[in-house]
Homo-oligomer: A and B are copies of this chain.
């Protein structure tokens, strides 16, 4: 297990002591060492698993999942990660209710956490709400723990909020590290995070925001491209700019897909709704204005339809570095002529990258497991080193 040893060596050189008994909200709230530690623990867990060695750290315990939006891959990634560490998943299904007021969050958070070690939440639908809700939950269980209601504070894993999608962006980054042979090899690589046309509307901003907020940390040239009117949150652009400055990379915004693709080593073409549209939608939902929502939907679809040329075609791929940029997507993609008439990506491009795309997704369970591991294990390197002896399957 050379991979394990390599990961442990790096891990021992990092300072991530504050992650113990902490939570994972946004990548840019974590230090470089903490981000790096998450990658290394994920790699170590993958190495153990691939050698059929169990990285179980719990003898019992629950992981509570709250999906306030649909999910397949994140749901299964979370279930996989928890199972790998020895936790049973208990889903909390609150129905499609409006974001509950503070009091009820406080009560509910405690009532579902009696033996919870982890709470995973997806709440990405409403601007200004999702991340706030996660903090309310964490505050509630922190109080509950202090008051003797809960005998431990469960750790929160942000499974996508209105601002960031850290399990996705971290999995994407780990995929790049794996693909380019090390985090140091990301330096100077150009990634085009670009808007793409989709016949549906209102896709969350958390993926593009997560990507520009994370990949700017590694000295990469991060280019964000979208049509006018599809702006992301200005705060996150500021994060990206600051990261780029600190890491010696760059963060650039352009107005065409072609500019973004030019010379790119990596492309990430994906539909999203603009920040301002999301804000309007949140306000309409808050007022229960269904007619307003319908009108907005119509307006946004018309706006989208003006940008059908924002597609990741074979021609555009040729603009990239040697025509061989690595294509990324969080999946599922809107594939032209396959899942829709006109979409984000040409079928031939998508097909060519199928294996790397699935591999990209396969890092997510390990990223989630690493986030939990670092919050729950005081001395991660020692524990990972000690795990070598234990077989996952009790019998071969």
Residue pair B56, A59 in contact (C-beta under 8 Å): yes
A277 to chain B, nearest CB (A): 27
Decide if B107 touches A76 in the complex (CB within 8 Å). Answer: no
Q: Check A49–B151 contact: CB distance below 8 A.
A: yes
A50 contacts B114, CB within 8 Å?
Answer: no
Do A60 and B72 have beta carbons less than 8 Å apart? no
Assess the A83–B59 pair: CB atoms within 8 A.
no
Which residues of chain B are within 8 angstroms of A335 by Cβ–Cβ distance? 103
A62 touches B79 (CB 8 A): yes
Total interface residues in chain A, CB < 8 Å: 70
- The complex is assembled from copies of this chain, and their number is 3
The 0/1 profile, CB within 8 Å of B marked 1, for residues 370-396 of chain A is 000000111100010011001111111
Q: Whose C-beta in chain B lies nearest to the C-beta of A365? A: B114
Residues of chain B contacted by A361 (CB below 8 angstroms) = 110-111, 114, 149
Q: Judging by beta carbons under 8 Å apart, are A392 and B103 in contact? A: no
Contact at B358–A115, with CB atoms within 8 Å?
no
Q: Which of A135-158 contact B (CB under 8 A)?
A: 144, 147-151
Q: Is the CB of A103 within 8 A of B58?
A: no
Are B59 and A391 in contact (CB-based, < 8 A)?
A: yes
A76 touching B111, Cβ below 8 Å: yes
Query: Does the CB pair A147–B395 fall under 8 Å?
Result: no
B339 and A104 form a contact (CB under 8 A): yes
- Given A358-B144, A359-B147, check contact A114 B77 (CB 8 Å): yes
- What string of 1s and 0s marks CB contacts (under 8 Å) between A50-77 and chain B? 1000101111111010000000110011
Residues of B within 8 A of A49 (CB): 115, 151
A234 at the binding interface (Cβ < 8 Å): no
Q: Are B395 and A355 in contact (CB under 8 A)?
A: no
Contact of B338 with A103 in the complex, beta carbons under 8 Å: yes
Beta-carbon contacts under 8 Å, A105-126 to B:
106-108, 110-112, 114-115
Q: For chain A, residues 328 to 353, give those with C-beta under 8 angstroms from any C-beta of chain B.
A: 331-332, 335, 338-339
